[in-house]
């Protein structure tokens, strides 16, 4: 075999080897590309799932914030309505306290307190209300030490028991009843 034939043989083998290497390289590139595509698709699916989960969490959080804000607004409106009703009641009580009925109410409350705590109990009222109480009923009258808007406080002779018949206590109880009624109206769909 001559040099020329050896070179042709090497050349033919080289072309075959190059063809084989090229084919293997193309197959490897295709396999790598397919694996990368699969990994990319998997990563995309995971990212989409995470994005969806994150979006759901954001939606839940924002809905919760909106619900809290709505509840706070409702509570504020309810408190405003209750306070407005209490203010109207306070104004009505101020008018009522100027009437003769208020004196009768004080005497009835003092008699009730004396029946509950004993006839020797102290009836504590505002100075301006003392003249409204029946002096012949024998109540032990005294000026109330703390500020009250009207009504009376009765204390047992030994000071161990006390009954609060003040208008302030009445308004506090009214506040609770108004809150309950407002809640019932809201549940019924009223305004």
- Is the full-model pTM beyond 0.85? no
Is residue 7 very low, low, confident or very high in pLDDT (cuts 50, 70, 90)? low
The model's pLDDT over 24-39, given as tens digits with 9 standing for 90+, comes to 878 888 888 888 888 8
Q: Is the pLDDT of residue 190 over 60?
A: no
The model's pLDDT over 45-74, given as tens digits with 9 standing for 90+, comes to 888 888 888 888 888 988 888 889 888 888
Q: DSSP readout, the chain?
A: --HHHHHHHHHHHHHHHHHHHHHHHHHHHHHHHHHHHHHHHHHHHHHHHHHHHHHHHHHHHHHHHHHHHHHHHHHHHHHHHHHHHHHHHHHHHHHHTTSHHHHHHHHHHHHHHHHHH-TT-EEEE-GGGGGGS-GGGT-EEEE-SS--SSEEEEE-TTSS-EEEEEHHHHHHHHHHHHHHHHHHHHHHT--
Is residue 191 very low, low, confident or very high in pLDDT (cuts 50, 70, 90)? low
């Amino acid at each position: 075999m001559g040099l020329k034939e050896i070179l042709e043989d090497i050349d033919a083998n080289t072309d075959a080897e190059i063809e084989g290497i090229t084919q293997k390289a193309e197959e490897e590139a295709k396999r790598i590309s397919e694996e990368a595509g699969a990994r990319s698709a998997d990563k995309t699916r995971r990212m989409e799932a995470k994005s969806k989960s994150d979006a759901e969490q954001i939606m839940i959080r924002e809905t919760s914030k909106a619900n809290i804000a709505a509840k706070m607004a409702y509570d504020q409106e309810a408190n405003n309505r209750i306070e407005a009703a209490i203010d109207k009641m306070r104004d009505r009580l101020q008018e009522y306290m100027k009437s003769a009925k208020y004196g009768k109410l004080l005497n009835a409350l003092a008699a009730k307190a004396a029946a509950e705590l004993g006839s020797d109990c102290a009836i504590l009222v505002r100075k301006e209300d003392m003249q409204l109480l029946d002096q012949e009923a024998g109540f032990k009258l005294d000026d109330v030490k703390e500020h009250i808007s009207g009504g009376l406080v009765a204390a047992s002779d030994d000071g161990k028991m006390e009954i609060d018949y003040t208008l302030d206590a009445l308004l506090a109880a009214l506040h609770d009843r108004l809150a309950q009624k407002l809640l019932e109206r809201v549940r019924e769909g009223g305004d």
